[in-house]
Structures are given as structure tokens and as C-alpha cells.
Amino acid sequence: ESGADDYVVKPVRARVLDARIRAVLRRVGGTADDQGTARTEHHGDLVIDRAGLTVTHQGRPVALGPSELRLLLTLSASAGQVFSRQQLLEAVWEHNYHGDARLVDACVKRLRSKIGEPPGSPRYVHTVRGFGYRFGPR
């Protein structure tokens, strides 16, 4: 199709489709309010501005790379939900990436470091052993 922005292989999970739709809306200039979500989310000391694509921790801006920001936005959009590494690869990197799923682990490690997560006792991005990650309080 001329001008196609993305292609989804069936069967597709609803969460993956939702993440891809949100990514397209961000690229074409849709606002967070158009997507039915609040513009700014407060998670303790962590503030995520979805429309402005900015993150602050304890009032200070956090410089995140594109993958780290997409990872944080994906996880925080469904706080409490557990995502497998494969689900995060598909949502964050926006394609079926069947390479090393440890790419997600490396990105999570960088994200945790940048948002001030204490090593060994994260407050925001939690590991679900043997499966993946979730965002939110313990």
C-alpha cells in the first residue's frame, strides 16, 4: 500500500497492536489526549510527559535515548502488567526482532541507571524472574 507506515503480521496481540498505533500517532503528531491518556503521569519522584516525550526524576530532566524512552513509555502505559522480553522487543523496536532478547535487559539496565533506580531494589522497573519486566510499585 502506498504510504504504509507499518505492517502487522497476524496473529497479533492486542497490546502489540495498541503500542504500534500509539507509535504511529506520536509520529504523525497526535497528542496524548487524542489517545485517551493523560498528558503527564506522576509515579512518585518520576514524572513522564507523554506528549512532550520528557521524563523528570526528583524535578531534574532525565536524558533518555530513543529506545530507553520507548521502553519506559511502553511499560508505564500498562503499569502492573508483566511484559515478556519478546513483547518488549516488538513494542519498543517496532518490528519482529528475533535476535538476542538480552537487548531488552541491556536497555532496562541503562534506563534504571538514568532514572535513579538503586541497584538491587528498583522502585519503578521490576524484573519478573524467568519472564520479563513490569512497571509500578512492588
Residue 2 lies in a domain: no
Residue 41 lies in a domain: yes
Q: What is the pLDDT of residues 36-58, one digit of tens each?
A: 455 788 888 899 998 888 999 99
Sheet (strand 83-84) strand order:
83-84, 132-135, 125-128
Choose between 27 and 41: higher pLDDT. 41
Tell me the backbone φ, ψ of residue 22, rounded to 5 degrees.
-60, -40
Residue 29 has pLDDT above 70, yes or no: no
pLDDT of residue 43: 87
Residue 1 in any domain: the answer is: no
Q: Does a structural domain hold residue 95? A: yes
Q: What are phi and psi of 23, to 5 degrees?
A: -65, -45
Classify residue 9 by its DSSP letter: P
**Cα–Cα dist 81/62, whole Å:** 24
Domain of residue 82, residue span: 14-135
Whichever domain contains 78, its CATH number is: 1.10.10.10
Q: Does position 32 have pLDDT exceeding 50, yes or no?
A: no
Number of neighbours of residue 133 by Cβ within 10 angstroms: 24
| Angle (deg, nearest 10), helices 85-92 and 14-28 | 20
Instruction: Check whether 1 has a pLDDT greater than 60.
Output: no
